[in-house]
């Protein structure tokens, strides 16, 4: 992963660069017994490149910091890097540089860079009353996979795989920008909490109809397998799928990858079926 020089020189063809940093700490953001090194690398790359897509940009490069115990097998680090490279290839990006250090536990830092290709960035603050709210990508799969792992289950395998290595639809970000999205975020902390960021930073109210939320049959199967769990909780409060949720002017002709799940109005907060969503809480960072 070295670059053989003090720094990498990367193209920034439109005269700007989009940049985002994520930290992943062992036993907090991943567990070596639950995920392979390749999956951990792939997921680290995915979650950070999703932040780039959520600005409407195309991911172009990653810089990676790996802090690890001296007795970490070299194969683990190489497999991790391979997963990262594989996910980068999905997005059209490359690993451009990095740093290594010893540490008592594994900590991964990923900085992703991206290209807006001449478009204005889509921020969290542009939603307007009357806008549609739409999602692209799966919701709740990663949270369901984590619940299955915690219960010692490995089926449905697709959900466990979605937890170990989500595959965001990176092209949805630039697609949203071209469609005129007024605000956007990737769902990393649960739909309710992430919509809360859009509502707060745009100064609007967001209403979601639970009947409009895409609940897959696999998600229902997992809920059944685990007994009483309502799959909507995974969608509203579970993160890490890195689906994109965006707001669009009401006249927008949305393409097939977007599902309308609600609308924007005057007011504040996120409302699900006309109830405030405060009782729902997503992933707690600290």
**Cβ distance to a second copy smaller for residue 16 or 220:** 16
Beta-sheet pairing, 269-272 with 205-208: parallel
Check residue 71 for interaction with a second copy (CB under 8 A).
Answer: no
Residue owning tokens 């939603």: 127
- Full strand arrangement of the beta sheet holding 58-68: 94-102, 58-68, 107-115
Size of the site for a second copy (CB under 8 A): 62
In the complex, the smallest distance separating the C-beta of residue 54 from a second copy, rounded to whole angstroms, is 4
Check residue 109 for interaction with a second copy (CB under 8 A).
Answer: yes
In the complex, the smallest distance separating the C-beta of residue 198 from a second copy, rounded to whole angstroms, is 11
Check residue 61 for interaction with a second copy (CB under 8 A).
Answer: yes
Q: Give the SS3 label for residue 115.
A: strand
Q: Give the SS3 label for residue 207.
A: strand
- Interactions with a second copy, residue window 176-195 (CB under 8 A): 184-186
Residue from 83, 114, 140, 174 in contact with a second copy (CB under 8 A):
114
Strand residues in 146-286 grouped as ranges (E): 183-186, 205-208, 244-248, 259-265, 269-272, 275-276
Distance between CA atoms of 162 and 74, rounded to whole angstroms?
26
The site string for a second copy over 2-31 (x = CB under 8 A, - otherwise) reads --xxxxxxxxxx-xxxxxxxxxxx--xx--
Before 156, cis peptide (omega within 30)?
yes
Q: What tokens were used for 45? A: 């790359």
Q: Which residues bind a second copy (CB under 8 A)?
A: 4-13, 15-25, 28-29, 51-52, 54-55, 57, 61, 63-67, 70, 96-105, 107, 109, 111-114, 116, 121, 123-125, 184-186, 201, 285-286
């Amino acid at each position: 992963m070295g670059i053989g020089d003090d720094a990498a020189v990367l193209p920034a063809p439109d005269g700007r660069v989009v940049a985002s940093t994520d930290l992943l700490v062992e036993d907090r953001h991943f567990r070596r017994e639950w995920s392979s090194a390749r999956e951990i690398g792939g997921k680290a790359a995915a979650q950070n490149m999703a932040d780039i897509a959520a600005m409407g940009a195309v991911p172009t490069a990653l810089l990676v910091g790996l802090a690890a115990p001296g007795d970490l097998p070299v194969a683990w680090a190489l497999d991790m890097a391979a997963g990262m490279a594989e996910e980068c290839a999905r997005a059209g990006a490359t690993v451009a540089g990095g740093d290594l250090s010893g540490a008592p536990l594994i900590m991964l830092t990923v900085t992703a860079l991206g290209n807006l290709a001449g478009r204005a960035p889509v921020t969290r603050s542009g939603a307007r009353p009357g806008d549609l709210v739409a999602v692209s990508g799966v919701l709740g799969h990663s949270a369901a996979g984590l619940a299955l792992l915690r219960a010692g289950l490995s089926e449905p395998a697709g959900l466990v795989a979605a937890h170990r290595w989500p595959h965001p639809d990176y092209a949805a970000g630039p697609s949203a920008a071209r469609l005129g999205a007024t605000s956007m975020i990737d769902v990393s902390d649960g739909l309710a909490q992430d919509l809360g960021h859009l509502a707060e930073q745009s100064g609007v109210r967001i209403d979601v109809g639970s009947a409009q939320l895409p609940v897959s049959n696999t998600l229902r199967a997992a809920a059944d397998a685990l007994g009483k769990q309502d799959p909507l909780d995974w969608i509203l409060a579970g993160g890490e799928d890195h689906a994109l949720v965006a707001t669009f002017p009401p006249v927008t002709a949305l393409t097939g990858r977007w599902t309308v799940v609600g609308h924007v109005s005057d007011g504040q907060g996120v409302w699900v079926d006309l109830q405030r969503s405060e009782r729902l809480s997503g992933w707690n960072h600290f």
